[in-house]
């Protein structure tokens, strides 16, 4: 179990016409394995290639062709399992799931029904507006199995014909099945995004939802408050409502909208005295509704059986241990370390560990410097500036060394926060060593008390009326501070100026 210091988020409650209702959600996420070749052939997995150019004979279902397992895909599935703190099964096996579809030339999909490669695991899902509101839920993983993807039918290129592109046929997918532990639309989206984050850290799936490399079947049911807790106590599904499955969602926004719609649809049925029918539905984003695709009665009989072309997959513990030893630091650990070592807030640590590029950039900036100050500069100044230019952190014109240089100058008291912003902009647009720029352009903060005192005296002498007022009302001292800062081009040390003015006005 993870070391949980968070409270569980409250489940989403929807008020029906008669009662309050809660949601129960379980996801089957399909993640394309990041590898060069397909699961059982040497054909390339490259996205966007010329249609039907990445197809081996075995992918096209040619007679007599035999599948050969790609060890790289197995390693990636094991790595993903380890990243989800899951049981790795040293024995697993492939089964045929039989159905006919034009983009499935074999007439069956090779999958793992009875003996998946990965067993039970868990994911910590943090909640909130922004990255985190201080609550989190552990979502249990039931299993991960390896399977083949299907090809793509194209119906909108010709009025009289359909086309088929087999480039995706046989590409390796990991199907990650959760327990029905998710309690609302936002949580479902946060769960998918956490899986994506972990797999990106691991390098096992690029998580690109637009290209269909990460998609989810979303199972939704409704129950009365209290029923879910009974299910959790007993693991008895009869406490839960009948679920519907919304197929093939590839957008976090649509996942949330579809769950919300589906829950309200089920509530209306049940409150009307009807019963929810278990079925597969499709979400239509244009109409924001789900529609029935097939009911349980029409469900396929897939006639699963062990694939006779493939031996059971037996892997060795030593091999699993090697993979475990090569795991990178994962998001939860990295975040905890940032909070501890750099004194960051939960929020800042979440933002900075969202991906490894952000995290490494920040670490390079913060190394040996004030961590909180570094976090502020990376998040507020650098991210803000990059966003304005629509640039990625990997494409930042300011290097960690340069930003670290700016921060070091602030910490030493060489420049004020205001001058630092000007300096940052110069480094961002012109490049250069911040320390040298400060020297050459005379941007150094004036800490010479004599010079500051002279400026203060001058302003006080020139404004006797203001002095009189400020003696009555000490709040007016701020005006003098502003004047002195102006007179020194913003370079006077603000703390010194404040103290000096307070002293002079009191005197
Ligand atoms: P099947 O064998 O029909 O595919 P599973 O037991 O594998 O069904 O469940 C598929 C998915 O549905 C899992 O992610 C699971 O968490 C989810 N699920 C099961 N029961 C419910 C329910 N009552 N409400 C919501 N989701 C559910
Ligand atoms: Mg299932």
Query: How many angstroms separate the CA atoms of 425 and 385, rounded?
Result: 9
Asked whether residue 301 carries a pLDDT value surpassing 70, the answer given is yes
- 418 or 55, higher pLDDT: 55
Which pLDDT band, with edges at 50, 70 and 90, does 187 fall under? very high
Residue 456 alpha carbon to ligand 2 centre in Å = 76
Pocket of ligand 1 (CB under 6 A): 24-28, 177-180, 219-221, 237, 240-241, 243
| Cα dihedral sign, 367-369-375-377 | negative
Cβ contact 476:470 at 8 Å: yes
Query: Is residue 216 over pLDDT 60?
Result: yes
pLDDT tens, 126-182? 986 455 667 899 999 999 999 999 999 999 999 999 999 999 999 999 999 999 999
Considering only CA atoms, which of 119, 110, 105, 104 is closest in space to residue 69?
110
Report the alpha-carbon distance of residue 384 to residue 120 in Å, rounded: 40
d(C-alpha 424, C-alpha 415), whole Å: 11
What are the residue boundaries of the structural domains of the chain, listed by start?
22-324, 329-440, 449-506
Q: Which atom of ligand 1 is nearest to the CA of 242?
A: 23
Judged by its nearest atom, the ligand closest to the C-alpha of residue 241 is 1
Residue 386 confidence (pLDDT): 97
Residue 360 has pLDDT above 60, yes or no: yes
* Nearest atom, ligand 1, residue 220 CA: 25
What is the structure's pLDDT at 127?
A: 85
* 300 pLDDT tier (thresholds 50, 70, 90): confident
User: Residues with Cβ < 8 Å from 252, sequence gap 6 or more?
Assistant: 189, 192, 193, 209
Residues 432-446, mean pLDDT to the nearest whole number:
90
Q: How far apart are CA 121 and CA 131, in angstroms?
A: 23
Residue 64 predicted with pLDDT over 50: yes
What is 220-282 written as a DSSP string? Answer: EEEE-TTHHHHHHHH--GGGSPPPEEEEEE--HHHHHHHHHHHHHHHHHHHHTT--PPPEEEE
pLDDT on residue 1: 35
Q: Is residue 477 a contact partner of residue 463, using CB atoms and an 8 Å limit?
A: no
Per-residue pLDDT of 228-270, as tens digits, reads: 999 999 999 999 999 999 999 999 999 999 999 999 999 999 9
Q: Which CATH architecture has domain 449-506?
A: Orthogonal Bundle (1.10)
Tokens of 25: 């959600």
């Amino acid at each position: 179990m993870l070391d949980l210091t968070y409270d569980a988020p409250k489940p989403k409650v929807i008020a029906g016409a008669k009662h309050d209702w809660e949601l129960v959600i379980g996801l089957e996420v399909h993640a394309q394995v990041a590898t060069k070749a397909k699961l059982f052939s040497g054909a390339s997995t490259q996205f966007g290639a010329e249609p039907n150019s990445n197809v081996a004979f075995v992918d096209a279902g040619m007679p007599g062709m035999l599948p050969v397992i790609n060890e790289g895909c197995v390693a990636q599935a094991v790595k993903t399992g380890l990243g989800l703190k899951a049981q790795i099964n040293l024995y697993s096996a492939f089964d045929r799931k039989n159905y006919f579809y034009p983009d499935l030339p074999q007439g069956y999909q090779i999958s793992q029904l009875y003996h998946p490669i990965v067993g039970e695991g868990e994911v910590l899902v943090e909640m909130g507006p922004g990255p985190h509101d201080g609550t989190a839920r552990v979502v249990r993983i039931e299993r991960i199995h390896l399977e083949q993807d299907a090809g793509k039918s194209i119906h909108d290129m010709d009025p009289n014909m359909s086309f088929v592109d087999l480039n995706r046929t046989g590409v390796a997918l990991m199907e990650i099945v959760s327990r029905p532990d998710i309690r609302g639309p936002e949580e479902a989206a946060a769960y998918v995004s956490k899986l994506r984050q972990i797999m990106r850290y691991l390098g096992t799936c690029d998580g690109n939802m637009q290209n269909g490399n990460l998609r989810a079947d979303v199972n939704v049911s409704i129950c009365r408050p209290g029923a879910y807790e009974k299910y959790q106590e007993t693991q008895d599904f009869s406490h839960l409502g009948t679920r519907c499955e919304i197929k093939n969602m590839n957008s976090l926004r649509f996942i949330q909208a579809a769950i919300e719609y589906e829950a309200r649809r089920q509530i209306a049925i049940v409150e009307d005295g009807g019963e929810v029918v278990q079925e597969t539905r499709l979400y239509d984003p244009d109409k924001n509704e789900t529609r029935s695709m097939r009911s349980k009665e029409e469900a396929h009989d897939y006639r699963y059986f062990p694939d006779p072309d493939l031996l059971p997959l037996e892997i060795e513990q030593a091999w699993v241990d090697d993979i475990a030893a090569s795991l990178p630091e994962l998001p939860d650990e990295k975040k905890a370390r940032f909070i501890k070592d750099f004194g960051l807030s939960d929020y800042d640590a979440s933002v900075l560990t969202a991906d490894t590029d952000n995290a490494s950039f920040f670490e390079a900036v913060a190394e040996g410097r004030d961590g909180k100050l570094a976090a502020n500069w990376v998040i507020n100044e650098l991210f803000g500036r990059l966003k304005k230019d629509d640039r990625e952190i990997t494409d930042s014109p300011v290097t960690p060394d340069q930003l670290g240089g700016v921060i070091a100058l602030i910490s030493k008291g060489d420049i004020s926060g205001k001058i630092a912003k000007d300096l940052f902009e110069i480094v961002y647009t012109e490049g250069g060593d911040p320390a040298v720029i400060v020297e050459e352009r005379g941007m150094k903060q004036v800490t010479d008390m004599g010079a500051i005192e002279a400026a203060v005296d001058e302003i006080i002498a020139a404004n006797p009326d203001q002095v009189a007022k400020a003696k009555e009302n000490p709040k007016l001292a701020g005006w003098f501070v502003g004047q002195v800062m102006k007179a020194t081009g913003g370079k006077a040390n603000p703390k010194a100026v404040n103290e000096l003015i307070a002293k002079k006005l009191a005197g």
